[in-house]
Amino acid sequence: MATSDALVHASRQLLSTGAETTAKFEWIVVMGGFFAFMAAFGIGANDVANAFATSVGSGALTIKHAVMLAAVFEFCGALFMGGHVVKTIRKGIANQDCFNDDPGLLMYGCLCVIFSVAIWLVVASFLEMPVSTTHSCVGGMIGMTMVARGSSCVVWSAKSDTFPYIKGVAAIVVSWLLSPIVSGGFSFVFFLTLRALVMRSQNSYARARLAFPVLLACTLIINIFFIVYKGAKFLELDDTPLSTAFAAAFGVGCGAGVLSYFLVVPYILRTTDALYEQRQLEKAERGTKKVEVEEVVRQPRELPKGVFGAPKRVYYALVDHLTYSLEHKADSIVEEDAVVQAIHDNAEKFDEKTELSMRYLQILTACCDSFAHGANDVANSIGPFASMVVIFKTGKVNKKAEMGSDSYWILGLGAAGIVVGLALYGYKILHALGTKICKLTPSRGICIELGAACVIIMGSRLGWPLSTTHCQVGATVGVACLEGSKGINWFIIGKTVVGWMITLVIVGCSTALLFAQGAFAPMQSYPCYKTGACTIP
């Protein structure tokens, strides 16, 4: 009980903390760093499917290769463009003027937010429920602010000079509603065009050769434009004129597209021809026999015993789990689930050779999608942590306070946690969204990833903490709609929507309860405790 009283007493001190005493709460920053990494781990485990589910589901990438690519592009997206969304999470949900007299209280509140987000994401991943990490963080900030200072201190709505001309919770809600619709619209148009001009053509393989440079140019133009146009402060590109940004993106994208036709496309055709011939030989050898899915068999190892063997046992358990995660196969999911099998059988089949040639471009679009994911979702784990660091270093709550050089290691911490979460626990959600929603092929995956990336990058630049789950699911449904209602697994869609709905409530309530217990609970050491007449000092 003494330990509990000490913790509550430390939390109670926050109520009378001024700018001159925030230094005593270094423990909040330290714990916040651990919890921010945990939250980023949960994002990697639960949200990583947004970037690579289509590539893994279509067979263009293995989970192991997806982890390696994510390690690079998630980190780069977080470092170069993550700062804009961090500002929205850090300053756009709670009115920080309400905490000017108690900066330590806001520090403790942000600690509760990160902890609640981390726990919920890990639980949701265990339950194989794809939830919105953006909902989690925003819900936590709302719950904490309402308990600490009342609903009037939540920035529900405010005018803005940029689209959608509102900010705060209202702008985020609008983005939650619009993002799946807009993403679905983009991907629908992309795949409708690609299917009509290339995939349904009798000479689709030859047309794919012409389509590759065009799609490559479009992909690069979209990403380069938003990196350059007030995107990457790290590269001193945070104040680039619109015309300059567009000219740079258009020039680089078109130049790369032209060069790829002469340098990259011939290589792709050679490797595609070789791979296609190899697959035809394998099919001829197998005949009509059904291929049995080879499961990963792990031989049990003899574990060291005793107290001194504990570190090795933990190490071996971690290695075994990582191996299982990276080598987990999705083929058996289709064969074991009759609904998924029917959806895959119902999907329109295109020329196999053309699909094989498309997988290289799909990997590129997946990398761009991963870059956009890192730019947007890293803020969900380190936005509140950034508030702690700024308050701790400046000793006050200031809307105009910037993270400075600290932003790079803070963003790096979030990116590292995302990659670790993907490697250790990402396979569950990845298979749910990459295999069960609809039939995915490289041509479909390109359009899904490109449509989602367009919306995510635009939202990240405008400072909207978009749900990448919304964008990716919306883009996937947009492509699947071209197969008809039988081409979509509505049960998985419904399960995902339910996850979105309950996440905001669960994290908001858990954060509110945790914060209230720490900040307002009486202690036995108070003389008034036994009489029940305690009041908040």
What is the arithmetic mean of pLDDT over 330-346?
72
**pLDDT exceeds 80 at position 310:** no
Top mean pLDDT of 114-118, 288-292, 298-302 is at 114-118
Flag whether 494 is in a domain. Answer: yes
**Cβ-proximal residues to 281 (8 Å cutoff; 6+ apart), any chain:** none
One-letter amino acid of 461:
R
Flag whether 461 is in a domain. Answer: yes
Coil/strand/helix, residue 87: helix
Predicted pLDDT of residue 296? 44
Predicted pLDDT of residue 185? 94
Flag whether 230 is in a domain. Answer: no
**pLDDT exceeds 80 at position 116:** yes
CA distance 363 to 246: 24
For the chain, how big is the Rg over CA atoms in Å?
25
User: Minimum mean pLDDT among 28-42, 104-118, 263-277, 400-414: which range?
Assistant: 400-414
Give the pLDDT band of residue 3 (cuts 50, 70, 90).
very low
User: Minimum mean pLDDT among 75-84, 186-195, 217-226, 347-356: which range?
Assistant: 75-84
Give residue-wise pLDDT tens across range 167-189: 777 777 777 788 889 999 999 99
Beta pairing class for 166-167 and 158-159: antiparallel
User: Minimum mean pLDDT among 99-113, 181-195, 231-245, 509-523: which range?
Assistant: 231-245
Residue 154 dihedral angles phi and psi, to the nearest 5°? -85, 130
Interior/surface letters 363-401, b for 16+ CB within 10 angstroms, e for the rest? bbbbbbbbbbbbbbbbbbbbbbbbbbbbbbeebbbbeeb
The boundaries of the domain holding residue 71 are 2-200+297-520
Q: If we measure between CA atoms, which residue out of 382, 414, 304, 325 comes closest to residue 41?
A: 414
Flag whether 372 is in a domain. Answer: yes
Flag whether 366 is in a domain. Answer: yes
Give the pLDDT band of residue 255 (cuts 50, 70, 90).
very high
Give residue-wise pLDDT tens across range 229-249: 655 555 555 566 777 878 888
Predicted pLDDT of residue 130? 79
**pLDDT exceeds 50 at position 297:** no
Flag whether 284 is in a domain. Answer: no
What is the arithmetic mean of pLDDT over 472-490?
88
Alpha carbon 214 to its chain's center? 28
What is the arithmetic mean of pLDDT over 321-337?
59
Q: If we measure between CA atoms, which residue out of 407, 400, 403 comes closest to residue 100?
A: 400
Flag whether 142 is in a domain. Answer: yes
Based on the structure, what is the number of domains in the chain?
Answer: 1
Flag whether 530 is in a domain. Answer: no
